[in-house]
């Protein structure tokens, strides 16, 4: 089936919007703006949030604490239905979940921009699905686009849970992992509809297997990275300064650091073999992105760098995951 260049470009634009949501979400995290909007999908009960505290009722904290309490009750009921009774009890018995923050214009609009980008990305996926239904009635493509659209809706719903639970750490991790799955499916859709992305990349069997190994490790690294970030948040709340973080972090940080070196070694080997043979751009790109990613990781762990380094660390890890995944789809073992 032939897809028009306009449709293919639109799928790339959708991918960019999804990536921008990840960037915005990271920026929300590092600025502590996650509770800038205490409700969802509206912000302080409005589609366009207030700009100053005087626009809110005096008892706005009590109002949104009560609303959050109802959402937490529904969420815990859902957790019990899927067998997570212990987790539900922990959430219910955590009194900090109902503590409302003071209104802060900067944090409110930081979170609001994050939601706007999510709205744009979700509607782009919906438009792309409708476009496909109208002009390209292929079951495989429709199923893939439909599943990703449902996951985007689930991601939006889970975003409301993240807000309702007052940023319980594990909910943030699930939120990120869902975003990574959505990116992966969008990349696979682009691979299927774009002739240029279907051009095979001839590699050895060893390189192909290494690519899949690096892909799995990188995905796991993203998960470990969120765990390390959660530990850092807890250490910060306990009064530990940046200089003592590495001493206090547990096994997740050690594995995260060690796997980073493993990925570097494997990619250096791949890059070396690539330069000796085919000089594929996608492998070069993966190596460059990894280099930037590792530099940002070192700055995060050992240097007192601004919070934006955290955003770059996450976004380059996400880009690396996308580049490797697309490479793994296109790689074909060359015949000897």
Q: For the chain, what is the total number of helices (H) and then of strands (E)?
A: 11, 2
The dihedral through the CA atoms of 11, 17, 22, 23 has a sign that is positive
pLDDT at residue 303, as a whole number = 58
pLDDT at residue 263, as a whole number = 82
First vs last Cα of the chain: how many Å apart?
Answer: 32
Rounded to whole angstroms, the Cα distance separating 282 from 7 reads: 23
Confidence grade of residue 151 (pLDDT, cut at 50, 70, 90): very high
The answer to whether 15 and 186 have CB atoms below 8 angstroms apart is yes
CA-closest candidate to residue 211, choices 273, 297, 275, 291: 273
pLDDT at residue 168, as a whole number = 61
Average pLDDT over residues 232-255: 63
List, for residues 255-307, the tens digit of each pLDDT value. Answer: 777 777 888 888 888 888 888 877 888 888 888 887 777 776 666 656 555 55
pLDDT at residue 308, as a whole number = 57
* Residue with more model confidence, 286 or 20: 20
List, for residues 61-114, the tens digit of each pLDDT value. Answer: 888 878 777 777 877 887 788 787 887 787 777 777 777 778 888 888 988 998
Rounded to whole angstroms, the Cα distance separating 29 from 173 reads: 12
Q: How many CA atoms lie within 13 A of 216 on its CB side?
A: 5
Does the predicted TM-score (pTM) go above 0.85?
A: no
In whole angstroms, how far apart are CA 249 and each of 106, 246, 252, 262, 273? 31, 5, 8, 20, 36
pLDDT at residue 298, as a whole number = 66
Q: Which two tokens stand for residue 44?
A: 């302080």
pLDDT above 80 for 18: yes
Average pLDDT over residues 6-12: 94
pLDDT at residue 203, as a whole number = 84
The answer to whether 100 and 189 have CB atoms below 8 angstroms apart is no
Name the percent of the chain lying above pLDDT 70.
Answer: 82
Average pLDDT over residues 121-148: 90
* Residue with more model confidence, 308 or 24: 24
List, for residues 124-136, the tens digit of each pLDDT value. Answer: 999 999 999 988 8
CA-closest candidate to residue 287, choices 267, 262, 307, 303: 267
pLDDT at residue 327, as a whole number = 87
Mean per-residue pLDDT of the chain: 81
pLDDT at residue 163, as a whole number = 63
List, for residues 165-179, the tens digit of each pLDDT value. Answer: 655 666 777 778 888
Which of left, alpha, beta for 99 (phi over 0: left; psi -120 to 50: alpha)? beta
Q: Which two tokens stand for residue 233?
A: 């948040």
pLDDT at residue 186, as a whole number = 95
Enumerate residues 6+ apart whose C-beta is below 8 A from 285: 323
pLDDT at residue 67, as a whole number = 78
* Residue with more model confidence, 151 or 288: 151
pLDDT at residue 201, as a whole number = 84
Average pLDDT over residues 209-238: 76
Q: Which two tokens stand for residue 25?
A: 């979400």
pLDDT at residue 26, as a whole number = 77
């Amino acid at each position: 089936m032939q897809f028009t260049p306009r449709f293919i470009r639109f799928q790339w634009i959708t991918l960019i919007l999804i990536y921008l949501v990840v960037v915005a979400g990271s920026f929300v995290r590092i600025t502590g703006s996650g509770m800038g909007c205490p409700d969802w999908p509206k912000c302080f009960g409005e589609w366009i949030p207030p700009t100053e505290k005087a626009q809110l009722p005096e008892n706005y904290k009590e109002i949104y604490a009560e609303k959050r309490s109802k959402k937490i009750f529904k969420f815990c009921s859902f957790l019990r239905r899927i067998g997570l009774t212990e987790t539900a009890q922990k959430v219910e018995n955590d009194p900090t979940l109902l503590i409302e923050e003071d209104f802060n214009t900067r944090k409110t609009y930081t979170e609001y921009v994050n939601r706007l980008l999510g709205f744009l990305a979700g509607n782009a996926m919906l438009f792309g699905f409708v476009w496909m239904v109208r002009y390209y009635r292929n079951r495989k493509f429709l199923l893939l686009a439909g599943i990703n659209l449902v996951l985007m809706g689930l991601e939006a719903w889970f975003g409301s849970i993240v807000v309702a639970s007052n940023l319980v750490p594990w909910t943030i991790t699930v939120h990120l992992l869902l975003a990574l799955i959505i990116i992966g499916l969008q990349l696979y859709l682009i691979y299927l509809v774009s002739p240029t992305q279907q051009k095979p990349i001839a590699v050895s069997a060893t390189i192909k297997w290494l690519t899949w190994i690096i892909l799995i490790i990188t995905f796991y690294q993203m998960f470990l990275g969120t765990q390390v970030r959660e530990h850092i948040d807890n250490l910060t709340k306990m009064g530990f300064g940046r200089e003592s973080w590495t001493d206090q972090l547990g096994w997740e940080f050690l594995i995260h650091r060690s796997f980073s070196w493993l990925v570097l070694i494997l990619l250096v080997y791949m890059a070396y073999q690539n330069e000796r043979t085919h000089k594929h751009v996608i492998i070069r790109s993966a190596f460059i992105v990894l280099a930037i990613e590792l530099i940002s990781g070192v700055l995060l762990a050992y240097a007192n760098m601004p919070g934006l380094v955290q955003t770059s660390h996450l976004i380059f890890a996400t880009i690396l995951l996308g580049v490797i995944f697309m490479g793994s789809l296109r790689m074909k073992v060359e015949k000897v």
